[in-house]
Amino acid sequence: MPPSFAGEAPQSDPPPETAREAIVRFRGVDKRFGEHHVLRELDLDVGAGEKVSIIGPSGSGKTTILRMLMTLERPDKGAIDVNGKPLWQMDRGGKRVVADERHLRAARREIGMVFQQFNLFPHMSVLRNVVEAPIHVLGMGKEEANARARDLLGMVGLEDHVDKRPAQLSGGQQQRVAIARACALRPKVMLFDEVTSALDPELVGEVLGVVRELAEHTDMTMLLVTHEMRFAADISDRVLMFDQGAIIEEGPPTVVLQAPQHERTKRFLKAVLEH
């Protein structure tokens, strides 16, 4: 049996009818950057455990969805719920007010993110990158955190590199560390933001392999912004085609990627696959 993340995943009750209960819910979410209207009144439900790939041309607002969920970007309008709780608002004295840092920080514990540029902490060893959050967020003891981090790094195939600095690793290895780091808090929702776009082509496979492993062996909810169409087809339950701030087509990968209905999707896929 291949190494698996199964033991790492948060244990949610998985009866089939509740498994599709929305863990992430966008309602009327709108965002502009100056003149650029990146998201237009977005409605989106993602079921618990669902693996959703988001495709589309760059600048279409895909990444903004992930960044809002990670609380790195604030919606101008609309509501985002995670696990049934509003992300950007909270209740205070019976009134709904803008979330403060404490609320946001608590919400972030349910969500993990892997970035295009890895964003490992360059001044820390690989191991310390992974134990940072367990120690300082969960208050885990050093011994336990180290042991767990070694397990996680073992699962991404980097058990021999724990004492190195990120700069001593290849891009693919760095991204695998970043995945292990994001898993260390056992988030319920994991966000992958073009995690292979900054990699040399020959390093893409090792990173996708790890993501695939996560998708197949955990019940983590996953949202992936990706340009790897074959990969998206393999691991996704659902694919969203994004253009100009809106979902223009969605459905199972067999439909969206292989028999798209929308003209824009056809053109996009043609352009990507010919590349």
- Residues within the interface to other proteins (CB under 8 A): 70-72, 101, 105, 108-109, 111-113, 115, 117, 119-123, 132-133, 136-137, 178, 181-182, 185
Q: How far apart are CA 192 and CA 104, in angstroms?
A: 20
CB within 8 A of 105, min separation 6: which ones? none
Q: How many residues does the chain have?
A: 275
DSSP letter at 32 equals E
Question: Shortest approach of other proteins to residue 111 CB, angstroms?
Answer: 8
Choice between 1 and 167, CB closer to other proteins: 167
Measured from the CB of residue 245, what is the shortest distance to other proteins in angstroms?
22
Nearer to other proteins, 131 or 256 (CB): 131
What does the block give as tokens for 249? Answer: 């087509």
Residue closer to other proteins, measured from CB, 102 or 275: 102
219/95 Cα distance (integer angstroms): 34
96 DSSP β-pair partners: 91
**H helical segments located in the chain:** 16-19, 62-69, 101-108, 126-136, 142-155, 171-183, 201-217, 229-235, 253-256, 263-274
134 versus 253: smaller Cβ distance to other proteins: 134
- Compute the least distance from the CB of residue 145 to other proteins, in Å: 13
Residue 52's alpha-carbon distances to 26, 39, 202, 238, in angstroms, are: 14, 18, 25, 5
26/115 with CB nearer other proteins: 115
Tell the smallest beta-carbon distance from residue 53 to other proteins (Å).
20
Smallest gap from residue 242 Cβ to other proteins (A): 21
CB of 19 to other proteins, least distance (A): 25
Integer Rg of the chain from CA: 19
* Residue 92 or 123 with smaller CB distance to other proteins: 123
CA atoms of 45 and 14, how far apart (whole Å)? 18
Q: Rounded CA gap, 168 and 79, in Å?
A: 42
Give CA–CA dist 42/44, Å, rounded.
6
- The alpha carbon of residue 80 and the mean position of all alpha carbons in its chain are separated, in whole angstroms, by 16
Min separation Cβ 34 and other proteins, Å = 18
Q: Nearer Cβ to other proteins, position 33 or 121?
A: 121
